Amino acid sequence: MSNKLKPIQWENGVLKLIDQTRLPTEFIINEYTDYIGAAKAIKDMIVRGAPAIGVTAAYGIVLGAREFRDNSKEVFMQKMNEVCDVLRNTRPTAVNLFWAIDRMYAVLQNNENKEVADIINILEKEANAIYNEDVEINRAIGQFGNSLIHPGDIILTHCNAGALATADFGTALGVIRAAHEAGKNISVFADETRPFLQGARLTAFELQHEGIPVTLITDNMAGHFMKQKKINCVIVGADRITTNGDVANKIGTYSVAVLAKENNIPFYVAAPISTIDFSLEDGEQIPIEERNPQEVTHIAGVQIAPEGIKVANPAFDVTPNKYVTAIITEKGVIYPPYNENILKLKNEK
Protein backbone atom coordinates (compact mmCIF):
# COMPACT_ATOMS: atom_id res chain seq x y z
CA MET A 1 0.00 0.00 0.00
CA SER A 2 2.82 2.41 0.79
CA ASN A 3 3.49 3.06 -2.88
CA LYS A 4 -0.09 2.77 -4.10
CA LEU A 5 -2.49 4.47 -1.69
CA LYS A 6 -1.78 7.62 0.27
CA PRO A 7 -4.15 8.17 3.22
CA ILE A 8 -3.02 11.81 3.54
CA GLN A 9 -2.06 14.10 0.66
CA TRP A 10 -1.25 17.80 0.60
CA GLU A 11 -1.50 19.48 -2.79
CA ASN A 12 -1.47 23.22 -3.47
CA GLY A 13 -3.10 24.18 -0.20
CA VAL A 14 -5.66 21.38 -0.26
CA LEU A 15 -5.66 18.56 2.31
CA LYS A 16 -6.85 15.28 0.80
CA LEU A 17 -7.87 12.40 3.07
CA ILE A 18 -9.10 8.92 2.26
CA ASP A 19 -12.49 8.67 3.96
CA GLN A 20 -11.84 5.68 6.19
CA THR A 21 -15.45 5.49 7.32
CA ARG A 22 -16.36 4.36 3.79
CA LEU A 23 -13.75 1.63 3.35
CA PRO A 24 -13.61 -1.11 2.20
CA THR A 25 -16.71 -0.93 0.00
CA GLU A 26 -16.15 2.64 -1.21
CA PHE A 27 -12.91 4.47 -1.95
CA ILE A 28 -13.51 8.19 -1.55
CA ILE A 29 -11.02 11.03 -1.12
CA ASN A 30 -12.32 14.08 0.74
CA GLU A 31 -10.78 17.50 0.18
CA TYR A 32 -10.40 20.16 2.87
CA THR A 33 -9.50 23.82 2.53
CA ASP A 34 -10.35 25.03 6.04
CA TYR A 35 -9.20 24.01 9.51
CA ILE A 36 -12.73 23.34 10.80
CA GLY A 37 -13.10 20.67 8.12
CA ALA A 38 -9.77 19.11 9.10
CA ALA A 39 -10.82 19.11 12.76
CA LYS A 40 -14.13 17.45 11.90
CA ALA A 41 -12.31 14.80 9.85
CA ILE A 42 -10.29 13.91 12.96
CA LYS A 43 -13.29 13.94 15.29
CA ASP A 44 -15.47 11.88 12.95
CA MET A 45 -12.66 9.35 12.30
CA ILE A 46 -12.50 10.03 8.60
CA VAL A 47 -8.81 10.01 9.42
CA ARG A 48 -7.72 7.92 12.42
CA GLY A 49 -4.65 6.33 13.93
CA ALA A 50 -2.37 8.33 16.21
CA PRO A 51 0.37 9.27 13.70
CA ALA A 52 -2.15 10.13 10.97
CA ILE A 53 -4.10 12.33 13.38
CA GLY A 54 -0.91 14.21 14.20
CA VAL A 55 -0.04 14.78 10.54
CA THR A 56 -3.59 15.90 9.77
CA ALA A 57 -3.56 18.36 12.69
CA ALA A 58 -0.30 19.86 11.39
CA TYR A 59 -1.88 20.48 8.00
CA GLY A 60 -5.02 21.73 9.74
CA ILE A 61 -2.90 24.47 11.31
CA VAL A 62 -1.58 25.41 7.87
CA LEU A 63 -5.15 25.59 6.57
CA GLY A 64 -6.05 27.86 9.45
CA ALA A 65 -3.06 30.10 8.74
CA ARG A 66 -4.08 30.38 5.09
CA GLU A 67 -7.65 31.27 6.10
CA PHE A 68 -6.52 34.20 8.25
CA ARG A 69 -3.63 35.41 6.09
CA ASP A 70 -5.31 38.75 5.25
CA ASN A 71 -5.63 39.84 8.87
CA SER A 72 -3.22 42.02 10.81
CA LYS A 73 -0.35 40.24 12.55
CA GLU A 74 -2.03 40.68 15.92
CA VAL A 75 -5.36 39.24 14.75
CA PHE A 76 -3.57 36.48 12.82
CA MET A 77 -1.72 35.29 15.94
CA GLN A 78 -4.92 35.44 17.98
CA LYS A 79 -6.78 33.40 15.37
CA MET A 80 -3.97 30.84 15.26
CA ASN A 81 -4.41 30.25 18.98
CA GLU A 82 -8.06 29.52 18.28
CA VAL A 83 -7.13 27.15 15.44
CA CYS A 84 -4.82 25.17 17.73
CA ASP A 85 -7.48 25.01 20.45
CA VAL A 86 -10.12 23.67 18.04
CA LEU A 87 -7.75 20.96 16.82
CA ARG A 88 -6.72 20.06 20.37
CA ASN A 89 -10.34 19.45 21.31
CA THR A 90 -11.04 16.87 18.62
CA ARG A 91 -9.88 13.66 20.33
CA PRO A 92 -8.33 13.31 23.80
CA THR A 93 -6.37 10.05 23.88
CA ALA A 94 -3.89 9.98 20.97
CA VAL A 95 -0.89 11.98 22.18
CA ASN A 96 0.50 12.46 18.64
CA LEU A 97 -2.27 15.01 18.10
CA PHE A 98 -0.95 17.22 20.88
CA TRP A 99 2.69 16.53 19.98
CA ALA A 100 2.14 17.76 16.42
CA ILE A 101 0.15 20.81 17.49
CA ASP A 102 2.79 21.76 20.08
CA ARG A 103 5.51 21.41 17.46
CA MET A 104 3.64 23.58 14.97
CA TYR A 105 2.77 26.15 17.64
CA ALA A 106 6.43 26.41 18.68
CA VAL A 107 7.33 27.16 15.05
CA LEU A 108 4.57 29.78 14.97
CA GLN A 109 5.90 31.49 18.10
CA ASN A 110 9.54 31.32 17.04
CA ASN A 111 8.69 33.18 13.83
CA GLU A 112 6.09 35.63 15.11
CA ASN A 113 8.28 38.62 14.17
CA LYS A 114 8.17 37.67 10.48
CA GLU A 115 5.58 38.68 7.91
CA VAL A 116 2.37 36.62 7.88
CA ALA A 117 3.10 35.24 4.40
CA ASP A 118 6.51 34.04 5.56
CA ILE A 119 5.03 32.44 8.68
CA ILE A 120 2.54 30.51 6.55
CA ASN A 121 5.35 29.21 4.31
CA ILE A 122 7.37 28.13 7.34
CA LEU A 123 4.35 26.37 8.86
CA GLU A 124 3.73 24.52 5.61
CA LYS A 125 7.35 23.37 5.49
CA GLU A 126 7.08 22.12 9.08
CA ALA A 127 3.89 20.18 8.34
CA ASN A 128 5.59 18.61 5.31
CA ALA A 129 8.54 17.71 7.55
CA ILE A 130 6.22 16.01 10.05
CA TYR A 131 4.67 14.03 7.19
CA ASN A 132 8.01 12.96 5.69
CA GLU A 133 9.50 12.11 9.07
CA ASP A 134 6.53 9.87 9.84
CA VAL A 135 7.13 7.87 6.66
CA GLU A 136 10.80 7.33 7.55
CA ILE A 137 9.97 6.58 11.19
CA ASN A 138 7.49 3.90 10.19
CA ARG A 139 9.99 2.23 7.91
CA ALA A 140 12.55 2.20 10.73
CA ILE A 141 9.98 0.68 13.09
CA GLY A 142 9.30 -1.97 10.47
CA GLN A 143 12.97 -2.90 10.18
CA PHE A 144 13.54 -3.09 13.94
CA GLY A 145 10.34 -5.07 14.39
CA ASN A 146 11.24 -7.44 11.59
CA SER A 147 14.13 -8.72 13.73
CA LEU A 148 11.55 -10.13 16.17
CA ILE A 149 9.61 -12.05 13.53
CA HIS A 150 10.52 -15.63 12.68
CA PRO A 151 9.95 -17.31 9.31
CA GLY A 152 6.47 -18.78 9.13
CA ASP A 153 5.12 -16.78 12.09
CA ILE A 154 1.38 -16.33 12.40
CA ILE A 155 0.77 -12.85 13.80
CA LEU A 156 -2.34 -11.51 15.51
CA THR A 157 -3.06 -7.79 15.27
CA HIS A 158 -5.87 -5.73 16.77
CA CYS A 159 -7.39 -2.59 15.23
CA ASN A 160 -5.52 -0.89 12.37
CA ALA A 161 -1.98 0.38 12.73
CA GLY A 162 -1.13 0.28 9.05
CA ALA A 163 -0.53 2.81 6.31
CA LEU A 164 -4.07 4.09 6.84
CA ALA A 165 -3.22 4.98 10.45
CA THR A 166 -0.04 6.88 9.55
CA ALA A 167 1.38 9.02 6.78
CA ASP A 168 2.45 5.81 5.05
CA PHE A 169 3.67 2.20 5.67
CA GLY A 170 2.32 1.78 9.22
CA THR A 171 3.58 0.84 12.67
CA ALA A 172 2.27 -2.61 13.64
CA LEU A 173 1.44 -3.39 10.01
CA GLY A 174 4.76 -1.80 9.08
CA VAL A 175 6.47 -4.60 11.02
CA ILE A 176 4.28 -7.16 9.28
CA ARG A 177 4.92 -5.53 5.92
CA ALA A 178 8.69 -5.54 6.51
CA ALA A 179 8.63 -9.23 7.45
CA HIS A 180 6.61 -10.00 4.32
CA GLU A 181 9.04 -8.05 2.15
CA ALA A 182 11.89 -10.00 3.76
CA GLY A 183 10.32 -13.24 2.47
CA LYS A 184 9.54 -14.67 5.91
CA ASN A 185 6.31 -16.32 4.73
CA ILE A 186 4.26 -14.81 7.57
CA SER A 187 0.48 -14.71 7.82
CA VAL A 188 -1.91 -12.68 9.92
CA PHE A 189 -5.02 -13.04 12.04
CA ALA A 190 -6.87 -9.70 12.11
CA ASP A 191 -9.34 -9.04 14.92
CA GLU A 192 -12.47 -7.33 13.59
CA THR A 193 -12.13 -4.68 16.37
CA ARG A 194 -15.62 -3.83 17.51
CA PRO A 195 -17.37 -1.48 17.60
CA PHE A 196 -15.85 0.57 14.74
CA LEU A 197 -14.54 -2.52 12.91
CA GLN A 198 -11.14 -1.08 11.96
CA GLY A 199 -9.71 -4.59 11.73
CA ALA A 200 -12.43 -5.89 9.45
CA ARG A 201 -12.74 -2.76 7.32
CA LEU A 202 -9.17 -1.45 7.22
CA THR A 203 -6.54 -3.98 8.33
CA ALA A 204 -8.05 -6.78 6.27
CA PHE A 205 -8.33 -4.37 3.33
CA GLU A 206 -4.68 -3.28 3.59
CA LEU A 207 -3.23 -6.77 3.96
CA GLN A 208 -5.35 -8.21 1.19
CA HIS A 209 -4.32 -5.27 -0.99
CA GLU A 210 -0.65 -6.07 -0.29
CA GLY A 211 -1.04 -9.79 -0.94
CA ILE A 212 -0.19 -10.69 2.67
CA PRO A 213 -2.13 -13.78 3.81
CA VAL A 214 -4.79 -12.65 6.30
CA THR A 215 -7.62 -14.35 8.15
CA LEU A 216 -10.33 -12.17 9.67
CA ILE A 217 -11.67 -13.26 13.06
CA THR A 218 -14.12 -11.77 15.55
CA ASP A 219 -12.58 -10.26 18.68
CA ASN A 220 -13.75 -13.10 20.93
CA MET A 221 -12.00 -15.75 18.80
CA ALA A 222 -8.45 -14.66 19.68
CA GLY A 223 -8.17 -16.82 22.81
CA HIS A 224 -9.39 -19.87 20.94
CA PHE A 225 -6.64 -19.63 18.32
CA MET A 226 -3.99 -18.85 20.93
CA LYS A 227 -4.93 -21.96 22.90
CA GLN A 228 -4.69 -23.99 19.70
CA LYS A 229 -1.15 -22.61 19.26
CA LYS A 230 -2.06 -21.04 15.94
CA ILE A 231 -0.66 -17.63 16.90
CA ASN A 232 3.07 -17.02 17.42
CA CYS A 233 3.03 -13.37 18.44
CA VAL A 234 0.82 -10.30 18.77
CA ILE A 235 1.69 -6.88 17.32
CA VAL A 236 -0.43 -3.79 17.97
CA GLY A 237 -0.01 -0.05 17.66
CA ALA A 238 -0.54 2.55 20.38
CA ASP A 239 -2.23 5.90 20.91
CA ARG A 240 -0.30 6.82 24.04
CA ILE A 241 2.49 5.18 26.05
CA THR A 242 3.46 6.34 29.53
CA THR A 243 6.96 6.40 31.00
CA ASN A 244 6.38 3.12 32.85
CA GLY A 245 5.42 1.32 29.64
CA ASP A 246 1.64 1.23 30.08
CA VAL A 247 -0.03 1.37 26.66
CA ALA A 248 -3.33 2.94 25.58
CA ASN A 249 -4.64 1.42 22.38
CA LYS A 250 -7.96 0.57 20.79
CA ILE A 251 -10.51 -0.98 23.14
CA GLY A 252 -9.97 -4.74 23.37
CA THR A 253 -6.17 -4.56 23.31
CA TYR A 254 -5.94 -5.24 27.05
CA SER A 255 -7.96 -8.45 26.66
CA VAL A 256 -5.66 -9.62 23.86
CA ALA A 257 -2.58 -8.85 25.98
CA VAL A 258 -3.88 -10.84 28.95
CA LEU A 259 -4.69 -13.80 26.71
CA ALA A 260 -1.24 -13.60 25.13
CA LYS A 261 0.51 -13.70 28.50
CA GLU A 262 -1.62 -16.62 29.66
CA ASN A 263 -0.60 -18.53 26.52
CA ASN A 264 3.09 -17.52 26.62
CA ILE A 265 2.83 -15.54 23.39
CA PRO A 266 4.97 -12.39 22.90
CA PHE A 267 2.95 -9.17 22.89
CA TYR A 268 4.68 -6.38 20.97
CA VAL A 269 3.70 -2.71 20.69
CA ALA A 270 4.93 -0.78 17.64
CA ALA A 271 4.87 3.01 17.94
CA PRO A 272 7.00 6.10 17.25
CA ILE A 273 8.70 7.89 20.12
CA SER A 274 6.21 10.75 19.59
CA THR A 275 3.54 8.40 21.01
CA ILE A 276 5.34 8.30 24.36
CA ASP A 277 3.89 10.83 26.79
CA PHE A 278 6.86 11.67 29.01
CA SER A 279 4.60 13.79 31.25
CA LEU A 280 2.63 10.76 32.49
CA GLU A 281 4.00 8.17 34.88
CA ASP A 282 1.40 5.45 34.32
CA GLY A 283 -1.66 4.50 32.36
CA GLU A 284 -4.13 5.54 35.04
CA GLN A 285 -3.45 9.15 34.01
CA ILE A 286 -4.39 8.65 30.35
CA PRO A 287 -7.73 10.24 29.35
CA ILE A 288 -10.01 7.70 27.68
CA GLU A 289 -12.33 8.94 24.95
CA GLU A 290 -16.00 7.99 25.22
CA ARG A 291 -17.62 7.87 21.79
CA ASN A 292 -21.13 7.95 20.36
CA PRO A 293 -23.38 5.11 21.65
CA GLN A 294 -24.65 4.60 18.12
CA GLU A 295 -21.33 3.00 17.19
CA VAL A 296 -22.36 0.12 19.48
CA THR A 297 -26.09 -0.01 18.80
CA HIS A 298 -25.75 0.19 15.01
CA ILE A 299 -23.57 -1.41 12.33
CA ALA A 300 -23.41 0.40 8.99
CA GLY A 301 -26.50 2.34 9.99
CA VAL A 302 -28.50 -0.78 10.86
CA GLN A 303 -29.82 -0.98 14.42
CA ILE A 304 -28.78 -4.18 16.23
CA ALA A 305 -29.70 -3.33 19.84
CA PRO A 306 -32.93 -2.42 21.64
CA GLU A 307 -34.08 1.17 21.30
CA GLY A 308 -33.06 3.28 24.31
CA ILE A 309 -30.60 0.73 25.75
CA LYS A 310 -27.88 2.18 27.99
CA VAL A 311 -24.50 2.03 26.24
CA ALA A 312 -20.87 2.39 27.33
CA ASN A 313 -18.45 3.05 24.47
CA PRO A 314 -14.87 3.76 25.58
CA ALA A 315 -12.69 3.97 22.47
CA PHE A 316 -9.49 2.81 24.20
CA ASP A 317 -8.23 0.72 27.08
CA VAL A 318 -4.89 0.64 28.88
CA THR A 319 -2.63 -2.41 28.90
CA PRO A 320 -0.35 -2.51 31.97
CA ASN A 321 3.35 -2.83 31.21
CA LYS A 322 3.60 -6.31 32.73
CA TYR A 323 1.81 -7.66 29.66
CA VAL A 324 4.07 -5.89 27.14
CA THR A 325 6.98 -8.00 25.92
CA ALA A 326 8.68 -5.13 24.06
CA ILE A 327 7.98 -1.74 22.49
CA ILE A 328 9.27 -1.26 18.94
CA THR A 329 10.29 2.32 18.09
CA GLU A 330 12.23 4.01 15.30
CA LYS A 331 15.28 4.04 17.59
CA GLY A 332 15.17 0.35 18.39
CA VAL A 333 13.35 -2.20 20.53
CA ILE A 334 12.69 -1.26 24.16
CA TYR A 335 12.57 -4.03 26.75
CA PRO A 336 11.74 -3.93 30.49
CA PRO A 337 12.47 -2.30 32.85
CA TYR A 338 10.48 0.33 30.98
CA ASN A 339 10.81 2.99 33.68
CA GLU A 340 14.53 3.09 32.96
CA ASN A 341 14.67 2.35 29.25
CA ILE A 342 11.85 4.62 28.10
CA LEU A 343 13.34 7.61 29.89
CA LYS A 344 16.59 7.07 27.99
CA LEU A 345 14.65 8.01 24.84
CA LYS A 346 13.38 11.32 26.19
CA ASN A 347 16.05 13.31 24.42
CA GLU A 348 15.28 11.47 21.18
CA LYS A 349 11.71 12.75 21.05
Which range among 2-16, 73-87, 156-170 shows the weakest confidence by mean pLDDT? 2-16
CA distance linking residue 179 with residue 192, whole number of Å = 22
Q: State yes or no: is 118 an active-site residue.
A: no
CA distance linking residue 319 with residue 326, whole number of Å = 13
Looking at the whole model, is its pTM more than 0.85?
Answer: yes
Does 349 score more than 60 pLDDT?
no
Region 77-86: mean pLDDT is 98
Does 3 score more than 80 pLDDT?
no
- Yes or no: say if 154 and 187 are a contact pair by the CB < 8 Å rule: yes
Report pLDDT for 6: 84
Does 1 score more than 50 pLDDT?
no
In the β-sheet with 14-18, what is the strand arrangement from edge to edge? 8-11, 14-18, 29-32
Report pLDDT for 272: 96
Report pLDDT for 346: 83
Which domains does the chain carry? 8-138 (1.20.120.420), 149-348 (3.40.50.10470)
Does 180 score more than 70 pLDDT?
yes
Report pLDDT for 81: 97
Q: What is the pLDDT of residues 288-346, one digit of tens each?
A: 999 999 999 999 899 999 999 999 999 999 999 999 999 999 999 999 999 999 999 88
CA distance linking residue 344 with residue 7, whole number of Å = 32
As a whole number, the mean pLDDT across the chain is 96
Report pLDDT for 186: 98
Distances (CA, A) of 334 to 2, 203, 271, 348: 26, 25, 11, 13
Please tell me which residue in 191, 239, 277, 317 is annotated as part of the active site: 239
Report pLDDT for 345: 87
